[in-house]
Structure 1
C-alpha cells in the first residue's frame, strides 16, 4: 500500500498512545502450523505467517523474518537449515584479501532471495491497514558472515583497504536488494546490523554507518523508510547509528533505552527493547507484564518511543506472553488518557 511513511512516523510521535512494533514472525509460523524451514524457503508460507500475525495482533506495522543468512547465501556461503530454528551460516566463504578481490556481487536470483522478494510482494498486497516492513542485513554484518566475524575485526585494523573493498561489494548487493524490496510495495526495511556494535563509535561510523548512509540516501523517501537495527550497541555507538540518517532506530536489550533515545533526533522513531529471549520467550506472563510496564513508565516522556522487542522473537515464544505484552500496553495507554 502506498503510505506516506514520513506522515506515519509523525503521527506516531504526535499521538498520545504508545504504539508497538515487536520484531516477530515466528509466532505467525506457529499459527499457520508450519515450520521455520518452510517459511524461510518458501515465499508463500512466509507471507501467510506475516498475515496471520497481523490479523491476531494490533501491531503498528507488520515485519518479515529477521533472517541474517539470506544475503550471505546469495554470495555462496554455506547455510544450515534446522527445521524449527533460524538458519545459520556454516564456516566462512572468504579466507584472504585475494578472495575479497575475486568475490563477485551476485544477482537477485541467487539463493532464497527470490522467495523473500515474493514474501514481501504478497505481504504488501495482503496487508493494507498498516505498513509492511521488509528485512535485510547491514553491510558490516554481511561482511563478517562472509569473512568470519573475528577475522573481519582483525582485517579492519591490519588491512582496512581490503575491508573497505569487501564492504563496498556487500553494500552494492544490499542496495540492489533494498531497491527490489521497495519495488514490491513494502513501506520500509529493517536493516539488521548487529555486528557493528562490536566496534567503537568511530569505527562503527567508518566501517558500517558510512555504508548504511549510502544505502539510506539512495532508497529512503517519504514512502520508504529505513529502520536501522543494532542489537550489539550497548549505548557506545548510538551516535554512529544516527549518522546514517535512517528514519527510525531499533535498539537491543543490551542498552538502556532511556539513555540511547536522547541521542535520537526527535523526528525519528526509537524502537526497543524488551529481551526477546529472557522476557518474551522465557518469562512468565506476570514477569512479562512487569517488564513491559516498567519500560513504558521509563519511556513515557519520549513521544518518539515505540515499544518493541530488542531483536527478533525466537521460535516457541509463548502466545500467553505476547498476549500479555499487548494487554499491558493497552492498560498503560488507558491509564495515560
Structure 2
C-alpha cells in the first residue's frame, strides 16, 4: 500500500496494511546533509531537496512542510535573528500594548516574509512527490503567534490584567493563521497542521484554555472548514490530557498528543479523531537501542486498530542520531508493520 493511501485509509478509520508512521524531520535532515540551518530556512530549493531526501531516506508516510516558529511574526514585521547552529528567534516584541494592533496588517502569504518560500516549496514538492505521500503544511496557531509578537511573559500578564485585550489579540492572530491556511490550501497539499505550542495547558493553564483558547480555536476551525476543503491537524505540546475533550469538539481530523499524554486516554477522548503520537523525539538522541525496542512494544500493546498514526509529539532534535532513527524504522519493518 502506498503511503498516501495508507494515511487516507487511516483518516477514514478503515483497515490499512499497517499504521502510518510520522517522524517530524526538518532541520535535523538539513544538518545531516551538511547544509546550514539558515540556508535551509531561507532557500526554497534547499528545503525541497531536504524534504524529498528525508522521506526517501527514512521511509515515513507523512511529509511535513514547515520552517520555524518565527515565520508568521516575521511576516508581520518582527526582526528574526538567524544562526547556523540553532533555529532562529525573535529579537524583541513587535508590539508592547495590544492597542498597537491597529498598526499591523494581516500579511499576504504570497508576498510577506518567508511565507512565499513555503508556498513555492509546497507546490514543487506536490509535483515531484506525484501522489506518493501525504503532504501537510504547517502554520502557527493564534496563541503562539500572539506570544511571538507580544512576548510570552507579557501575554500571561495580559490574560490576568486585561482578558478582553487578550481576546482582541487572539482575534487578530487568528486572522493571520487563517489567511496562511488559505494560501497553503491552494498549493495542492493534503492537510494543514496548526502547531500551537503556547496554547498548551502546561504554558497558560487548563482554565485559560477552557475559557479563552478553546472557543477561539473552535470558531477558527469552523471558519477554515467553510472556506476550504482540507484535512486539519492540531498539534499542541505538553500534557493536554485535561483538554482533550475540547479538541474532540473541534472541526478537524487529526490531533497530535505529546509524550505526557497516555495513548489509552487519548483514544478514549478522541474517538472521532485520528490520534498521532505519543513518542518522545528525544529518544532518537538519548535512548539505547533496547529502549527504542521497548518503546515500540509499548506502542503496539496500546494502539487501537483504526485511526492511529505512530508518531512523535514534536520535531526530531537537531542532534538526533541517524543510526537510532534507522534502527527504529527497521524494527517496524521487521515485525511486518506492527503485526
Please report how far the alpha carbon of residue 140 of structure 1 lies from its aligned counterpart in structure 2 after TM superposition: 0.7
Distance across 2 between alignment mates of 1:150 and 1:120: 34
The number of residue pairs the alignment matches comes to 331
Partner of 1:290: 294
Distance across 1 between alignment mates of 2:119 and 2:30: 18
Partner of 1:140: 143
The correspondence for 1:157, drawn from 155, 160, 164, is: 160
Matched, 1:270 2:275: yes
Contact 1:155 1:162 in 2 (8 A): yes
- What SS does the corresponding residue of 1:276 show, helix, strand or coil? coil
Partner of 2:330: 327
Q: What CA deviation, in whole Å up to 9, does each residue of 1:201-253 have, x standing for no partner?
A: 45324433333333433444895211100113341221222232211001112
What are structure 1's unaligned runs of at least 5 residues?
Answer: none
Q: What CA deviation, in whole Å up to 9, does each residue of 1:272-326 have, x standing for no partner?
A: 121112x122223332222232223222x35222111110112131111111221
Residues 84-163 of structure 1 mapped to structure 2, 5 A cutoff: 84-108=85-109, 109-127=111-129, 128-163=131-166
4+ aligned runs moved over 6 Å, structure 1: 3-6
Partner of 2:214: 209
Partner of 1:239: 245
Distance across 1 between alignment mates of 2:56 and 2:288: 24
Deviates more, 1:213-222 or 1:188-197: 213-222
CA distance 1:330–1:135, shift in 2 (3 Å) = same
Q: TM-score, normalised to structure 2's length?
A: 0.89
Over the residues paired in the alignment, what is the CA RMSD in angstroms? 2.4
Contact 1:18 1:305 in 2 (8 A): yes
Contact 2:6 2:18 in 1 (8 A): no
Contact 2:258 2:314 in 1 (8 A): yes
Contact 1:9 1:269 in 2 (8 A): yes
CA distance 1:335–1:135, shift in 2 (3 Å) = closer
CA distance 1:253–1:135, shift in 2 (3 Å) = same
What are structure 2's unaligned runs of at least 5 residues?
Answer: none
Please report how far the alpha carbon of residue 270 of structure 1 lies from its aligned counterpart in structure 2 after TM superposition: 0.3
Distance across 2 between alignment mates of 1:113 and 1:40: 11
CA distance 1:84–1:239, shift in 2 (3 Å) = same
